[in-house]
Structure formats: C-alpha cells, structure tokens
Amino acid sequence: MTSPLQQKIKITGPSVVTANRTTDGVVIYRTATNGWSTDLADAAIVREAEPARALLAAATADDVGAVGAYIAPVEIGADGAVAPGNLREKIRRDGVTIALPVRA
C-alpha cells in the first residue's frame, strides 16, 4: 500500500491531520506541539501542501500512538471555531448519527 507521504497532497482549504488512537481507536487530531488531542479545536491547521506534508510526516512517525494518519478538510467559522469539512469527518468527531441501542 502506498504510504500517505508518497501520495500527492492536494489542499483546497484549511485542513488538519487526523488518525485513530492505537490503544482504543478513538479519533485524534495532530496538534501544533507535536502531540495528539481528541478535540478538533486543538488541531494544527494547515492551508498549503508543504506544511500539510510536514504535519502528516510527523504524525505518521508516531506509529505507536496513532493509526492511519491522513489529511482532512475543516471549515473555520467567523468566530474562528474549527468544524469538520465533510460528513465523514463530522461523524468521526461527533459520533454516530443514530441513537445507540444502549445508552451510555
């Protein structure tokens, strides 16, 4: 399988790097301080291919902590709030759109 770093990176707007946490698969976002956060608001925002590639490279290097890092689009609101850029990422951030059979 082609490494995400070998793939052509195309950025059309603000983006973040996201992955799943190795221990439990929880959705995580790469931060500007070379760490991970479960909160999208903490994610490092990139807007061009080269910074995106660098952020992805750092994320991918953490093979123990995270699985399957990739670049995902986000939207920045007028108030600066970061929101997922598509439905898939919205579901990853917010969880399933249905009521679970057993309430948490």
Partner 1 sequence: MYAYDEIDRAIVHERVDEFRDQVRRRLNGELTEDEFKPLRLMNGVYLQLHAYMFRVAIPYGTLSSEQLRKLAHVARTYDRGYGHFTTRQNIQFNWIALADLPDALAELAEVGIHAMQTSGNCTRNVTADQWAGVAPGEIEDPRVWAEILRQHTALHPEFSFLPRKFKFAITASDHDRAAIKIHDIGLKLVRNDAGETGFEVLVGGGLGRSPFIGRTIKSFVKGHDILSYIEAILRVYNQYGRRDNIYKARIKILVHELGIEKFAAEVEQAWSEIADGPLTLDDEMIEDIRSRFIYPAYEKLPAEPDELRAAAGDARFEAWRGNSVAPHRQDGYAIVTLSLKPAGGPPGDATAEQMDAVADLADKYSFGEIRVGHEQNLVLPHVAKRDLPALWAALDKLGLATPNVGLVSDIIACPGLDYCSLANARSIPIAQELSRRFANPETAALIGRLHINISGCINACGHHHVGHIGILGVEKNGEEFYQITIGGRADEGAELGVLIGPAVPYGEVADVIEDIVEAYLSLRQRPDELFVDAVKRLGVEPFKERVYATR
98 binds partner 1 (CB under 8 A): yes
What residues contact 77, with CB distance under 8 A and at least 6 apart? 83
Over the window 58 to 77, marking each residue x when it contacts partner 1 by CB under 8 A and - when it does not, the resulting string is -----xx--xx---------
Minimum distance of partner 1 from residue 16's CB (angstroms): 16
| Long-range own/partner contacts, residues 83-90 (CB < 8 A, 24 or more apart) | 83/40, 84/40, 85/13, 85/14, 85/15, 89/18
78 binds partner 1 (CB under 8 A): no
| Segment contacting partner 1 by CB under 8 A, of 7-15, 39-47, 49-57, 92-100 | 92-100
Nearest by Cα to 73 from 93, 98, 97, 95: 93
d(CA 90, CA 73): 10
97 binds partner 1 (CB under 8 A): yes
Considering only residues 39 through 58, tell me which ones interact with partner 1, judged by CB under 8 A: none
Residues at the site binding partner 1, with contacts judged by CB under 8 A: 1, 20, 22-27, 63-64, 67-68, 86-88, 91-92, 95-98, 100-102, 104
